[in-house]
């Protein structure tokens, strides 16, 4: 860590991190690109600065420049001082000491940041030995203490495990432990919760808030989630196209934003208390036929336990029954691994169910010949989670979007095909000029619009959206959800919307199904579920949703409950949620709860729902 001159100690202590006129550029074959321009800000001891903005705003590049971690074609100019010492002019060896002993970094994707062939304990101990100069035994003991501090369950066992054996939430806790191992005075967390479920996200944010308070260290939280900023940050800086457009106390910026761009971010942030979806077909007339009906749908997988070990049977979806009516939008929510994606893929017969029936417009899909099912697929379309990975990189946008016409309407002449292509691109907000582009030339939001155009060019009667916005920043999420709502209204199609973002689900869906470890917990009209949830798991999910209000969110984070779902390979007996449920009773371990229908058309599977306040 850099030494501080005596004169500086005598004067007022310098900011832990101070940036002045920091500009970051990259030299590319198409010329020089400016990722950040004239960034000036400071972070004091014991303070958390939230840095927000859309993807590509330059948030991460600013702090990678501070750490000397820019790509080889990157260059940083200006000033970046850590405890008064200029970082941009330090020799590599000196900068490496600062990175280890003075500044800790938590990256967005812990799986790619951790070394796959080293155990968790080995990786933490290696950092401790390098920067503290202690022996193996002391490093091991310190690593164990750190894992306990970041609330890793069964830390002795986790020390012996490898990164791939841990859940996403546990891997992120390990990353935080590594960042804390050198007792840094500044912790930079770059989108630390983006890839996590809402419950685990709340736990990680609560942990960061606790660590900041108890260690009085400076912290930078880089995120596009204003709810995360509201719960942890003291001040916030808003970046747009590499420039700071607004900065100030978090309450002032979130409640009375001055810059038009900040106002847009605040307006577009999804909220649980926002108006829900307008009434659709959720309250279908008694006796009206369902467009899609799932009956006791069960999906199982054989999972290998090694090259020569026995196979295990995993039940990903267990006895799910539901109906979806014409013009209705149904949200499917739950944590990762709860069976959401498996359920909708089985509904489309992309996976073969082990049991149960899928009936579409009166036809049992499993009974149909392949040719008939193939023809029926023009009415049953899906939008995938990864907007870029789901598009063929060798095809242009026009070829990708037009392919369903080639398959399902081969007799359509070229002029009619071109007209339909132009019309659907307009409908999803893309210009005709993009038809000649390739997926890698588009933004994430544009790629997802291409996926929506491809899925809707045939005007399907059922559109399944499998986490369609989870990889996008908040303003783009809002645009895509608004587009989906518009398409549903104008075509009267059914919409099955899979997401772990409950605030977005409320905006779009008239009913919501809650899944946990492949089982149905609650199915209810959206307004009823959000205003008076009956199942304890639904309550836990809603309590974990970040709210972009600094008067409310810190207290919500403080109430975040620890724990992760058990392995689906060995689910608990009786009610699968009982090991996390604060209201569990002996009966919950003995019997699987019945699926009960309530007077308000809600259904719930809980032994004790009548006793809950």
Is 608 within a domain? no
pLDDT of residue 27: 93
Top pLDDT among 12 and 493 is at 493
Contact 606, 521 (CB under 8 A): yes
Could you list the beta-strand ranges (E) of 95-136.
103-106
Residues 192-201 as b/e (b if ≥16 CB within 10 A, e otherwise) read bbbbbbbbbb
pLDDT of residue 3: 45
Contact 239, 24 (CB under 8 A): no
Q: Are 306 and 173 part of one and the same domain? A: no
Q: State the pTM of this model.
A: 0.86
Residue 379: which domain range?
292-534
Q: Average pLDDT for residues 215-244, to the nearest whole number?
A: 95
Torsion angle defined by CA atoms of residues 604, 607, 611 and 613, in that order, rounded to the nearest 10 degrees: -40
Report pLDDT digits (tens) over 48-85: 999 999 888 999 999 999 999 999 999 999 999 999 99
Res. 9 pLDDT band, cuts 50 70 90? very low
Q: What counts of helices (H) and strands (E) characterise the chain?
A: 23, 22
Q: What is each CA distance from 124 to 109, 138, 188, 231, 267, in whole angstroms?
A: 17, 12, 18, 28, 41
Q: Are 177 and 303 part of one and the same domain? A: no
pLDDT of residue 132: 84
pLDDT of residue 278: 58
Say if residue 461's pLDDT is above 50. yes
Q: Are 366 and 508 part of one and the same domain? A: yes
Domain boundary, last residue among 130, 148, 183: 183
Res. 463 pLDDT band, cuts 50 70 90? very high
pLDDT of residue 119: 95
The CA distance from 440 to 292, in Å, is 36
Other Cβ atoms less than 10 A from the Cβ of 140: the count is 18
pLDDT of residue 208: 93
pLDDT of residue 97: 85
Is 54 within a domain? no
Q: What is each CA distance from 146 to 73, 106, 124, 218, in whole angstroms?
A: 36, 15, 9, 19
Report pLDDT digits (tens) over 516-553: 999 999 999 999 999 999 999 999 999 999 999 999 99
Say if residue 4's pLDDT is above 60. no
pLDDT of residue 55: 83
Say if residue 8's pLDDT is above 80. no
The CA distance from 103 to 66, in Å, is 10
Res. 1 pLDDT band, cuts 50 70 90? very low
Say if residue 281's pLDDT is above 70. no
User: ∠ CA 351-356-358 to the nearest 5 degrees?
Assistant: 65
Sign, Cα dihedral of 193, 194, 195, 197: positive
Is 286 within a domain? no
Q: Average pLDDT for residues 230-257, to the nearest whole number?
A: 97
Residue with tokens 């008239």: 510
Report pLDDT digits (tens) over 550-571: 999 999 999 988 878 888 888 9
Is 19 within a domain? no
Sign, Cα dihedral of 62, 66, 72, 73: positive
Nearest to residue 390, comparing CAs of 454, 344, 341, 337? 454
Please list, in sequence order, all residues whose beta carbon lies within 8 angstroms of the beta carbon of residue 409, skipping any fewer than 6 positions away: 417, 458
Nearest to residue 404, comparing CAs of 344, 281, 395? 395
Of 182-186, 371-375, 559-563, least confident by mean pLDDT is 559-563
Residue 382: strand pairing partners: 464
Is 24 within a domain? no
Residue with tokens 């944010």: 205
Q: Are 388 and 507 part of one and the same domain? A: yes
Report pLDDT digits (tens) over 496-509: 999 988 999 999 99
Contact 275, 301 (CB under 8 A): no
Please list, in sequence order, all residues whose beta carbon lies within 8 angstroms of the beta carbon of residue 39, skipping any fewer than 6 positions away: 19, 21, 22, 23, 58, 62, 78, 239, 242, 243, 244
- Backbone phi and psi for residue 295, each to the nearest 5 degrees, phi listed first: -125, 115
Question: Helix H segments across 297-377?
Answer: 340-347, 370-376
Is 269 within a domain? no
Percent of the chain beyond pLDDT 70?
94
Burial label for 269, CB within 10 Å (0-12, 13-18, 19+), is buried
Q: How many CA atoms lie within 13 A of 452 on its CB side?
A: 30
Contact 448, 469 (CB under 8 A): yes
As a whole number, the mean pLDDT across the chain is 90
Q: Are 384 and 501 part of one and the same domain? A: yes
Percent of the chain beyond pLDDT 90?
67
The CA distance from 522 to 392, in Å, is 38
Q: Are 314 and 446 part of one and the same domain? A: yes
**Cα Rg for the chain, rounded, in angstroms?**
26
CATH of residue 497: 3.40.50.300
Tokens of 503: 């605030």
Is 194 within a domain? no
pLDDT of residue 12: 59
Report pLDDT digits (tens) over 285-342: 556 789 999 999 999 998 765 555 567 788 999 999 999 999 999 999 999 889 999 9
Domain boundary, last residue among 534, 552, 582: 534
pLDDT of residue 350: 92
Q: Are 313 and 443 part of one and the same domain? A: yes
Q: What is each CA distance from 214 to 147, 210, 554, in whole angstroms?
A: 16, 6, 16
Report pLDDT digits (tens) over 414-437: 999 999 999 999 989 899 889 999
pLDDT of residue 5: 45
Is 343 within a domain? yes
Say if residue 205's pLDDT is above 70. yes
Nearest to residue 516, comparing CAs of 172, 197, 270, 202? 197
Q: Are 179 and 326 part of one and the same domain? A: no
Pairing of the two strands 235-240 and 218-223: unpaired
Report pLDDT digits (tens) over 384-398: 888 788 899 999 999
Q: Are 179 and 296 part of one and the same domain? A: no
The CA distance from 474 to 334, in Å, is 20
The CA distance from 472 to 450, in Å, is 14
Domain boundary, last residue among 519, 534, 549: 534
* 496 sits in which H/E element: strand 494-498
- Backbone phi and psi for residue 18, each to the nearest 5 degrees, phi listed first: -135, 120
- Rounded to the nearest 5 percent, the helix, strand and coil shares of the chain are 40, 25, 40
The CA distance from 474 to 495, in Å, is 21
Q: Are 175 and 300 part of one and the same domain? A: no
Sheet holding 243-249, edge to edge: 103-106, 186-190, 218-223, 48-52, 235-240, 243-249
Say if residue 95's pLDDT is above 60. yes
pLDDT of residue 569: 85
Chain length of the chain: 613
Q: How many domains does the chain have?
A: 2
């Amino acid at each position: 860590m850099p030494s501080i001159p005596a004169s500086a100690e005598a004067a007022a202590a310098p900011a832990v991190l101070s940036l002045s006129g920091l500009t970051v550029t990259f030299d590319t074959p198409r010329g020089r690109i400016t990722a950040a321009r004239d960034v000036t800000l400071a972070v004091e001891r014991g303070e958390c600065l939230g840095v927000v903005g859309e993807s590509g705003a330059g948030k991460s590049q600013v702090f990678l420049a501070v750490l000397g971690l820019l790509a080889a074609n990157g260059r940083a100019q200006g000033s970046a001082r850590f405890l008064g010492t200029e970082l941009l002019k330090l020799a590599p060896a000196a900068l490496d000491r600062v990175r280890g002993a003075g500044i800790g970094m938590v990256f967005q994707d812990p799986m790619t940041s951790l070394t796959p062939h080293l155990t968790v304990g080995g990786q933490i101990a290696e950092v401790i030995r390098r920067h503290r100069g202690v022996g193996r035994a002391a490093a091991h003991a310190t690593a164990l203490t750190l894992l306990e501090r970041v609330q890793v369950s069964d830390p002795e066992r986790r020390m012996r495990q490898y990164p791939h054996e841990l859940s996403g939430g546990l891997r992120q806790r390990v990353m935080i432990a590594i960042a804390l191992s050198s007792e840094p005075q500044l912790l930079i967390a770059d989108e630390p919760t983006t890839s996590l479920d809402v419950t685990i996200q709340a736990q990680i944010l609560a942990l960061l808030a606790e660590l900041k308070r108890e260690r009085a260290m400076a912290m930078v939280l880089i995120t596009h989630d204003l709810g995360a900023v509201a719960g942890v940050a003291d001040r916030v800086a808003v970046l747009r196209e590499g420039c700071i457009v607004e900065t100030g106390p978090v309450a002032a910026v979130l409640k009375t934003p001055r810059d038009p761009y900040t106002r847009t971010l605040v307006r577009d942030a999804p909220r649980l208390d926002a108006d829900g979806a307008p009434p659709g077909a959720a309250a279908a007339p008694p006796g009206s036929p369902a467009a899609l009906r799932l009956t006791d749908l069960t999906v199982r997988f054989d999972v290998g336990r090694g090259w020569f070990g026995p196979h295990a049977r995993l039940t990903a979806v267990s006895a799910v029954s539901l109906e979806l009516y014409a013009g209705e939008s149904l949200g499917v929510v739950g944590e990762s691994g709860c069976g959401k994606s498996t359920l909708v893929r089985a509904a489309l017969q992309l996976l073969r169910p082990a049991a149960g029936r899928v009936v579409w417009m009166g036809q049992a899909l499993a009974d149909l010949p392949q040719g008939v099912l193939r023809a029926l697929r023009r009415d049953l379309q899906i939008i995938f989670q990864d907007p870029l990975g789901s598009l063929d990189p060798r095809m242009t946008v026009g070829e990708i979007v037009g392919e369903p016409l080639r398959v399902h309407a081969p007799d359509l002449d070229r002029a009619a095909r071109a007209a339909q292509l132009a019309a659907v691109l307009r409908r999803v907000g893309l210009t005709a000029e993009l038809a000649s582009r390739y997926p890698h030339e588009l933004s994430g939001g544009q790629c997802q619009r291409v996926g929506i155009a491809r899925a809707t060019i045939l005007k399907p009667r059922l559109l399944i959206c499998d986490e369609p916005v989870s990889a996008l920043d908040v303003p783009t999420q809002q645009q895509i959800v608004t587009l989906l709502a518009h398409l549903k209204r104008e075509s009267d199609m059914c919409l099955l919307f899979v997401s772990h973002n409950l605030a977005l689900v409320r905006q779009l869906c008239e009913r919501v199904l809650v899944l946990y470890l492949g089982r149905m917990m609650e199915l209810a009209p959206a307004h009823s579920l959000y205003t008076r949830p009956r199942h304890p798991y639904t309550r836990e999910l809603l309590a974990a949703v970040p709210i972009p209000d600094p008067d409310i969110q810190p207290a919500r984070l403080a109430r975040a409950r620890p724990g992760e779902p058990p392995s689906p390979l060995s689910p608990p007996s009786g009610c699968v949620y009982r090991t996390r449920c604060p209201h569990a009773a002996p009966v919950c371990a003995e019997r699987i709860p019945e699926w009960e229908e309530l007077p308000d058309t809600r259904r719930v599977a809980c032994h004790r729902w009548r006793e809950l306040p």
